[in-house]
C-alpha cells in the first residue's frame, strides 16, 4: 500500500438487528427551513444512547440514529465531530468522498466515521467544545473544565472559586461551556448550584443555578433554574434557563437579561446559524432531579426534539419532535453546508448500519 491519497470503500449487509423504534413529527416549514439555510443538525441523547442526524434529501426530511453509549457532549472539530459518552470520548473524522457510496447511494453528502476514542472514565462529562487546538470537556463529576489529551484520563484546567479541589463528587453540577467566539479559550460556564458538598446543588435546583465568567471566576447571573448551554453568538451571550423552558439573552457585564423565547420543553443543547437559535427540547422525568421545577406545571405539554428560534422576534420557525423512542436531548450541533450527514458509530450491529472500511490507495 502506498501513502498519500486515500481510497474509500463502503459495504453494507442487511440483517435482522435490533433497532431503535422512533416516531416523530415536524411542522410544515421545518424541512424547507433546513434546505433554505443550507444545513443539517446533529443531536445527542443519553437516554436513548444515540446521535441523531437531521437532514434533508430531495425535499424530504431524513433522520439517522447511531448508537453511542450515553451520548452527551457533541461538537464540531477541525476534522469532523467529537462525541462524549459514558466512559470514552469518540472522534469521528469527516469524509466527503465516501458519503455518496453509503447506501442508499447518492443520499448522503458527508459522513462521520467513528475511528478512535479516548478513555476518560465515567466522569459524567457534559458539554464538549473545540478551542485553541484542544478538546475541552465539562467534567461534571470533578466540578471543573478539563482537556482531553495525551495518555491522561483528563487534564485539569479550571474550577469555580467555590470548589475546594479536584476530587470525585458532583458538588455544583457544572454542565455548560461557552468558548470565546474566536475559539481561543473558555469564556462562560453554567452550574446548577454554588455548593461545595456532594449533591449540594440538589437542595435549591429550582432557582440555584448560575452563569459564571471563567477568566474572573465571577458569577454573572444567579437565580436560574437548572441552566445549560451558555453560548456566545454575534457578540451576544445566550443561556438556556432550562427549568423554565426558556432561551435568555444576557448582558455579561451587568447580568441583565431578557427572554428571547419560551419553548415547549426542558431546554438543553444550543447552537446558532444565520440569525437562528437551534434549541434542544426534552421531556422531564418525575424524579428527584427534575421534580419541583417550574416547567413541571406544563409537564403534559412538553416535547422532546428540536426548535429553531428566530432571534429577531423570538418566533419558533421550525419544530421537530419525537413521539416515541426518544424522551431527552442533550447537545445540538449545526452542520452548515451539508444537507444529509451519515454518522457511522462504533456499534454498527446495533444500528443495523453498514460496515465502512477506509484503506490507503493501492
Q: Which of 249, 260, 259, 307 has the alpha carbon at shortest distance from 282?
A: 307
pLDDT category at 298 given cuts 50, 70, 90 is: confident
- The yes-or-no verdict on residue 354 having pLDDT over 80 is no
Sign of the torsion formed by the C-alpha atoms of 91, 73, 81 and 179: negative
Average pLDDT, the chain: 91
Q: Which of 194, 214, 216 is nearest to 203 (CA)?
A: 194
Could you tell me the residue range of the domain that residue 171 belongs to?
A: 25-40+122-335
| 3-class state of residue 335 by DSSP | strand
> CA-CA distance, 324 to 24, in Å (whole number)?
7
pLDDT at 333 over 80: yes
Q: Residue 230 domain-assigned? A: yes
Query: Residue 154: inside a domain, yes or no?
Result: yes
Indicate the SS3 state at residue 244.
Answer: helix
Residue 260 included in any domain: yes
Residue written as cell 446558532? 272
Domains of the chain: total? 1
In whole angstroms, what is the distance from residue 146 CA to residue 139 CA?
Answer: 6
Structure pTM? 0.93
What distance in Å separates the CA atoms of residue 205 and residue 193, rounded to the nearest whole number? 7
For residue 343, give the H/E element and its range. strand 341-344
23 and 305 Cβ atoms separated by less than 8 Å: no
Contact present, 230 and 178 (Cβ < 8 Å): yes
Burial of 127 (0-12, 13-18, 19+ CB in 10 A): buried
Residue 290 banded pLDDT, cuts 50, 70, 90: confident
pLDDT digit string, tens, across residues 11-29: 333 333 346 789 999 999 9
Report how far residue 280's alpha carbon sits from residue 271's, in angstroms, rounded to the nearest whole number.
9
Distance (Å, whole) CA 258 – CA 66: 37
Q: In this structure, what C-alpha cell is assigned to residue 60?
A: 424530504
Residue 232 domain flag: yes
Could you tell me if 314 and 326 are in contact, meaning their C-beta atoms sit under 8 angstroms apart?
no
Tell me what pLDDT residue 352 has. 57
Flag whether 277 is in a domain. yes
Domain containing 235 — which CATH number?
2.120.10.30
pLDDT at 242 over 60: yes
Nearest to 333 by CA among 47, 48, 5, 55: 55
Q: Is 299 a domain residue?
A: yes
Span 53-109, pLDDT tens digits:
999 999 899 999 999 999 999 999 999 999 999 999 999 999 999 999 998 999 999
| Backbone torsions φ then ψ of 258, nearest 5 degrees | -135, 155
Amino acid at each position: 500500500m502506498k501513502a498519500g491519497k486515500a481510497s474509500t470503500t463502503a459495504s453494507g449487509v442487511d440483517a435482522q438487528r435490533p433497532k431503535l423504534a422512533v416516531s416523530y413529527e415536524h411542522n410544515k416549514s421545518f424541512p424547507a427551513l433546513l434546505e433554505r439555510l443550507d444545513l443539517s443538525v446533529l443531536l445527542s441523547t443519553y437516554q436513548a444512547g444515540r446521535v441523531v442526524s437531521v437532514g434533508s434529501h430531495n425535499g424530504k426530511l431524513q433522520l439517522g440514529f447511531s448508537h453511542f453509549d450515553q451520548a452527551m457532549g457533541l461538537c464540531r472539530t477541525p476534522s469532523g465531530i467529537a462525541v462524549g459518552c459514558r466512559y470514552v470520548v469518540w472522534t469521528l473524522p469527516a469524509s466527503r468522498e465516501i458519503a455518496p457510496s453509503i447506501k442508499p447511494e447518492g443520499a448522503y453528502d458527508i459522513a462521520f466515521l467513528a475511528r478512535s476514542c479516548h478513555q476518560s472514565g465515567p466522569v459524567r462529562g457534559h458539554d464538549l467544545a473545540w478551542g485553541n487546538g484542544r478538546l475541552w470537556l465539562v467534567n461534571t463529576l470533578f466540578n471543573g473544565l478539563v482537556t482531553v489529551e495525551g495518555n491522561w484520563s483528563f487534564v485539569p484546567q479550571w474550577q469555580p472559586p467555590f470548589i475546594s479541589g479536584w476530587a470525585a463528587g458532583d458538588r455544583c453540577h457544572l454542565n455548560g461551556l461557552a468558548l470565546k467566539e474566536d475559539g481561543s479559550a473558555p469564556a462562560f460556564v453554567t452550574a446548577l448550584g454554588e455548593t461545595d458538598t456532594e449533591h449540594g446543588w440538589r437542595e435549591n435546583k429550582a432557582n440555584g443555578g448560575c452563569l459564571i465568567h471563567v477568566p474572573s471566576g465571577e458569577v454573572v447571573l444567579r437565580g436560574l433554574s437548572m441552566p445549560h448551554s451558555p453560548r456566545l453568538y454575534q457578540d451576544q451571550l445566550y443561556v438556556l434557563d432550562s427549568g423554565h423552558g426558556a432561551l435568555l439573552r444576557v448582558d455579561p457585564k451587568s447580568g441583565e437579561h431578557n427572554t428571547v423565547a419560551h419553548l415547549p420543553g426542558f431546554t438543553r443543547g444550543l447552537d446558532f446559524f444565520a440569525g437562528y437559535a437551534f434549541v434542544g427540547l426534552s421531556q422531564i422525568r418525575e424524579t428527584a432531579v427534575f421534580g419541583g421545577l417550574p416547567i413541571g406545571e406544563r409537564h403534559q405539554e412538553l416535547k422532546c426534539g428540536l426548535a429553531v428560534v428566530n432571534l429577531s422576534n423570538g418566533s419558533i420557525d421550525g419544530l421537530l419532535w419525537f413521539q416515541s423512542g426518544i424522551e431527552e436531548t442533550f447537545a445540538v450541533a449545526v452542520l452548515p453546508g451539508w444537507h444529509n450527514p451519515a454518522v457511522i458509530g462504533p456499534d454498527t450491529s446495533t444500528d443495523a448500519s453498514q460496515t465502512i472500511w477506509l484503506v490507503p490507495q493501492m
